[in-house]
């Protein structure tokens, strides 16, 4: 399978897919008879035009530098003030396959000023025709207020991907993941990419912290993944537990990190609010964790 993929990529390279065949065709025509050269050139122009058209049709509708409009096709509330927004891609068979842990930029012009926010798609690399983002709405949030007012069928401007994580399969024997609130979205990207790659044997351990149990976004999805894939284990902790809560209580602690993560074989990826990042960073300092093996989204 890998050999076939390599051959397809080779043929997709302009040098091998266009330049060399055209060169051979012109050279062969020159050897055979110069009088056929106009017909050969006309044939080449037609074929190159078709190739160009097909290439533009396959091009991603998401651009890294140009803002493009994407139609909102669905909005689903999954928790108080939290919703999943689904946007339509340019083609029904198009997949938004962006680098693991990267984000999309979203922009609204508010009071004459462009307001940007970054969202990690939670749809995976097999979902075609659309992409999903998870948004938590805040009373003073300028962009989230605008998003909430967008009606089905209207468009929102996005561009991307944006990000610095360079994830490589099996780069670490184990990944320690720490998420807080909507910080679960890039972490979920990493989890999805690992479990859908049969060759990636990375063991995943996640600490997911929130204020209350009902703020543990996508908990059912995470529980379902953990049930199907033994390589993932999840520990939940909340500040204000409910009467029937059976998980951890309180902020992330040194003991949680030590119990969940293997210091010698783990790389840590952390995503959450600034205060939580600062708190976790302090804990890792106390644990004398190698900061070269820590990445903050």
Residue 9 — pLDDT band, cuts 50, 70, 90?
Answer: very low
Are residues 160 and 60 in contact, defined by beta-carbon separation less than 8 angstroms?
A: no
Are residues 284 and 268 in contact, defined by beta-carbon separation less than 8 angstroms?
A: yes
More confident of the two residues 51 and 31: 31
Residue 15 is predicted with a pLDDT of: 41
Which of 129, 162, 195 is a domain's end point?
162
Tell whether 137 is covered by a domain.
yes
pTM of this structure: 0.77
Residue 10 is predicted with a pLDDT of: 40
Residue 190 is predicted with a pLDDT of: 95
Tell whether 84 is covered by a domain.
yes
Are residues 154 and 72 in contact, defined by beta-carbon separation less than 8 angstroms?
A: yes
Residues 261 and 204 in one domain: yes
Residues 189 and 223 in one domain: yes
Structure tokens at 150: 């967008």
Residue 163 has pLDDT above 70, yes or no: yes
The tally of domains found in the chain comes to: 3
Which of 162, 185, 204 is a domain's end point?
162
* pLDDT tens by residue, 48-90: 666 655 554 456 799 999 999 999 999 999 888 899 999 999 9
Tell whether 168 is covered by a domain.
no
Return the CATH number at 184: 3.40.50.80
Return the CATH number at 111: 2.40.30.10
Residues 244 and 150 in one domain: no
Residue 47 — pLDDT band, cuts 50, 70, 90?
Answer: low
Residues 260 and 290 in one domain: yes
Residues 285 and 205 in one domain: yes
Question: What range does the domain containing 104 cover?
Answer: 68-162
| Cα dihedral 38, 40, 45, 46 sign | positive
253, with CB counted inside 10 A (0-12, 13-18, 19+), is: middle
More confident of the two residues 210 and 60: 210
Residues 81 and 147 in one domain: yes
Tell whether 191 is covered by a domain.
yes
Rounded to the nearest 5°, which phi and psi values hold at 83?
-140, 155
Residue 184 is predicted with a pLDDT of: 96
Are residues 252 and 280 in contact, defined by beta-carbon separation less than 8 angstroms?
A: yes
Residue 22 — pLDDT band, cuts 50, 70, 90?
Answer: low
* Average confidence score pLDDT of the chain: 87
> CA angle 55-59-92, nearest 5°?
110
């Amino acid at each position: 399978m890998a050999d076939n993929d390599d051959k397809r990529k080779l043929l997709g390279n302009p040098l091998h897919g266009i330049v060399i065949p055209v060169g051979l065709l012109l050279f062969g025509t020159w050897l055979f008879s110069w009088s056929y050269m106009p017909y050969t050139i006309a044939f080449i122009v037609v074929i190159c035009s078709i190739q160009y058209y097909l290439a533009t049709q396959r091009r991603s509708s998401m651009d890294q530098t140009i803002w493009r409009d994407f139609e909102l096709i669905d909005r689903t509330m999954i928790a108080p003030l939290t919703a999943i927004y689904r946007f339509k891609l340019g083609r029904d068979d198009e997949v938004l396959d962006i680098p693991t842990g990267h984000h999309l930029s979203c922009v609204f012009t508010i009071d004459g000023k462009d307001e940007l926010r970054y969202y990690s798609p939670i749809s995976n690399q097999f979902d075609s025709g659309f992409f999903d983002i998870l948004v938590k709405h805040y009373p003073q949030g300028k962009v989230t207020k605008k998003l909430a007012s967008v009606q089905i069928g209207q468009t929102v401007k996005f561009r991307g991907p944006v990000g610095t994580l360079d994830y490589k399969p099996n780069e670490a024997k184990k990944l320690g993941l720490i998420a807080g609130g909507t910080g679960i979205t890039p972490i979920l990207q990493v989890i999805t990419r690992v479990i859908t790659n049969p060759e990636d044997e990375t063991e995943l351990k996640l600490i997911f912290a929130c204020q209350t149990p009902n703020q543990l976004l996508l908990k059912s999805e995470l529980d379902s993944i953990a049930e199907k894939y033994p390589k993932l284990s999840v520990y939940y902790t909340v500040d204000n537990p409910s009467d029937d809560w059976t998980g951890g209580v309180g902020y992330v602690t040194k003991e949680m990190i030590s119990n969940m993560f293997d210091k010698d074989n783990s790389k840590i990826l952390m995503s959450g609010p600034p205060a939580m990042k600062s708190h976790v960073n302090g804990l890792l300092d106390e644990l004398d964790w190698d900061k070269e093996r820590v990445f903050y989204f």
